[in-house]
Amino acid sequence: MIAKIRSGKETAGLIRYLFDTKKAKDHTGPHLVASWDGFAPDPGRADDFDATRRLLVADLDLHVKQARRLGRAPEQHVWHCSIRAAESDRILSDEEWADIARRVVAATGIAPEGDSDGCRWVAVRHAPDHIHIAATKVRADLRTARHWNDYLTADRELAAIEKEYGLLQVVRGDRTAAKRTTRAEQEKARRAGQEKPARERLRATVRTAVAAASSVEEFVHLLNHLDGVLVEVVCFPSGDVRGYKVASEDTTTADNEPVWFSGSELAPDLSFPKIQKRLESIDPQSADKPGRRRPNPWHQATAAAERIPHHLDQTDDEASQAHLAAFGEALDALPLLAPQTLRPQLREAATAFERATRSRIRAGHHHARALRGAVRAMVREPAPKDGAVLAMFLDAAILVVIAAARWHQLHHHDQQVAAAQQTLLHLQAAYDQAATSPLAALAQRQPPQQAVERQIRRLRQAVPEHAEQIIEDPAFAALTTALTEAEAAGHDPERLLQQVADQRALNDARRPARVLAWRIQRLSERPALSAQARAAQANTARVGSAGRRPHAPEHTAAAAPAPQPSQARRR
């Protein structure tokens, strides 16, 4: 059930609308189902409709008029709450709607239970699936009703009603979502032939600028050079930036003035102070030194993303929230870097996951520096010619989203769970398209059968629980190629398998051979360790593992599996 609450200053106008059947064609058989004392006049069941309607308005306004004589009546004295059931819910009886109305006015403070001085109200039903509660805010003792946070209290009561009545339990948020576009904004965009309202387009644009910037100065510079976007930066007398606002060039008022939005009006985390705090947490990129091999930022970002499920399994919620926010920035940047054909799905994924990056848990942004720094480095690199690096990142990203849905579900963040599940659909579509060619190229280089059988023995030893599923995976040929080529480059295949075989990741993966293939290929591009270095590393591992349980370097495999999201799709 969903409640909408608004205020007004004309009782007669609201009652006229609720009982109207001529202009409002969808109003059928309007009548009262409940009232403040159970005896309110009902125009819907009276022979003289107009006289009864005037009598009802007078009764509702009685205390308002008395308070007005004393100069104590609020200007917006009408309280209007509409309550709608879900389409899948059964048709409720008048008696059930009456009970719901009484509970809502009591919970919101309009007419507390047992308070004989509560406000006057009526509940009108003029359609099968919803009711309207019309009340006046002046109590019988002529005080104004205390109904602060009435939307939240009504929503909390409706959640309890849904459970008790066996109705659809609506996904509820935690008031951290970005402000929704209004119907007027949507209609204006439709008339102008725009796919999305200006607020939504500007929100995505600013997010992309934040994802690409490595400092406040660069963020402001990027904003000022965005096509189709007007920017106004507000500074202190010292010259330091105080805030910003943006407008779309193709959206103006009736006076042909730009429609401006501050960062906080676009989304809670796009206010200038919050952007400034996030950008200050980014590590400055170290200068390249002569003879030093420059790390591949795509590989760095993929490695950082692969560690996020492990971070989400820990008890530091602020760190977990920070990693989700950083991952959201990575998704915001992807449309800038991906081929044109993948951009629509990646934009939808970034837009959907935006809701999953925010909750009531405060993010400690210093925890996610590695991923943030790698994303900024990716933006500054030429677009990758090898589609494999994008496929690698998307493969890791899908596992992050599955882990994010699980983490949000454990914290009862219903809207964020739904957002992660929606993100998963778009990322899987983009990944399937991006990975087809690189996987086919690997499969074409599959080694001889003798080498394949050798890799099968290694798999059964390294990941016995998943070995048969991996062998039957269509991407198994690509995995054997990656292992064989890594071995030819001097890497130890057994050690590589131990490094990449994160049990939680393989449990979440629908196609585990693909996960292993990308990880093997990424790690094998590093220089292979010498025999002396491997011996020293093995000796250190033996000494360090004494007295404690072994674990994978990048992921904790021993973590108990958490409940899966109810609708999350597995890869």
Q: For residues 407 and 428, what is the distance between their CA atoms, to the nearest angstrom?
A: 20
Tell me which DSSP letter residue 38 carries: S
If we measure between CA atoms, which residue out of 479, 396, 378, 484 comes closest to residue 434? 396
- Please spell the DSSP secondary structure of 67-132, one letter per residue: HHHTT---SS-EEEEEEE--TTSPPPPHHHHHHHHHHHHHHHTSS-TT-TTPPPEEEEEEETTEEE
Alpha helices in 192-228 (DSSP H): 198-212, 216-224
Place of tokens 């495999």: 557
SS3 category, 243: strand
**At residue 244, what are phi and psi to the nearest 5 degrees?**
-150, 160
Q: For residues 448 and 467, what is the distance between their CA atoms, to the nearest angstrom?
A: 20
For residue 138, give every residue at least 6 positions away whose Cβ sits within 8 Å of its Cβ, in sequence order, or none: 63, 64, 66, 67, 72, 73, 74, 77, 119, 144, 145
What are the structure tokens assigned to 18, written together? 């609720």
Place of tokens 């008696």: 95
Q: Measure the CA dihedral 109/110/114/115, to 10°.
A: 100
pTM given for the model: 0.74
Give CB contacts under 8 A, 24+ apart, made by 244-251: 244/220, 244/272, 246/202, 246/205, 246/206, 247/198, 247/202, 248/198, 248/201, 248/202, 250/192, 250/194, 250/198, 251/188, 251/189, 251/192, 251/194, 251/198
Q: pLDDT per position in the chain (571 positions), as tens?
A: 999 999 999 999 999 999 998 888 789 999 999 999 999 999 999 999 999 999 999 999 999 999 999 999 999 999 999 999 999 999 999 999 999 999 999 999 999 999 999 999 999 999 999 999 999 999 999 999 999 989 989 999 999 999 999 999 887 776 677 777 887 888 888 888 888 899 999 999 999 999 989 888 899 889 888 888 999 988 888 888 889 999 999 888 888 889 999 999 999 889 999 999 888 877 655 444 444 566 789 999 999 999 999 999 999 999 999 999 999 999 999 998 999 999 999 999 999 999 999 888 888 777 888 898 899 888 888 777 778 999 999 999 999 999 999 999 999 898 999 999 999 999 999 999 999 999 999 999 999 999 999 999 999 998 899 999 999 999 999 999 999 999 998 998 888 888 888 767 788 888 899 999 999 988 888 776 555 555 555 565 455 545 444 443 333 333 334 444 444 444 4
- What is the reported pLDDT for 538? 56
- Asked whether 368 and 325 are in contact (CB, 8 A), the reply is yes
- What is the reported pLDDT for 460? 92
- What is the reported pLDDT for 534? 57
User: How many angstroms from the chain centroid is the CA of residue 496?
Assistant: 35
Q: For residues 265 and 267, what is the distance between their CA atoms, to the nearest angstrom?
A: 6
- What is the reported pLDDT for 542? 55
- Please spell the DSSP secondary structure of 329-367, one letter per residue: HHHHHHHHHS-GGGHHHHHHHHHHHGGGG--SSPP-GGG
Burial of 259 (0-12, 13-18, 19+ CB in 10 A): middle
Give CB contacts under 8 A, 24+ apart, made by 408-415: 408/356, 408/359, 408/565, 409/562, 409/563, 409/565, 409/566, 410/562, 410/563, 411/317, 411/359, 411/361, 413/174, 413/359, 414/171, 414/172, 414/173, 415/171, 415/172, 415/173, 415/174, 415/177, 415/355
Q: For residues 175 and 179, what is the distance between their CA atoms, to the nearest angstrom?
A: 9
- What is the reported pLDDT for 364? 79
97 to 17, 32, 43, 93, 420: CA distances (angstroms): 19, 10, 18, 6, 34
- Asked whether 358 and 176 are in contact (CB, 8 A), the reply is yes
What are the structure tokens assigned to 473, written together? 């995976």
* DSSP3 helix / strand / coil % (the chain, rounded to 5): 55, 10, 35
Query: Side chain identity at 36, as an amino acid letter?
Result: W
Q: For residues 494 and 485, what is the distance between their CA atoms, to the nearest angstrom?
A: 13
- What is the reported pLDDT for 286? 42
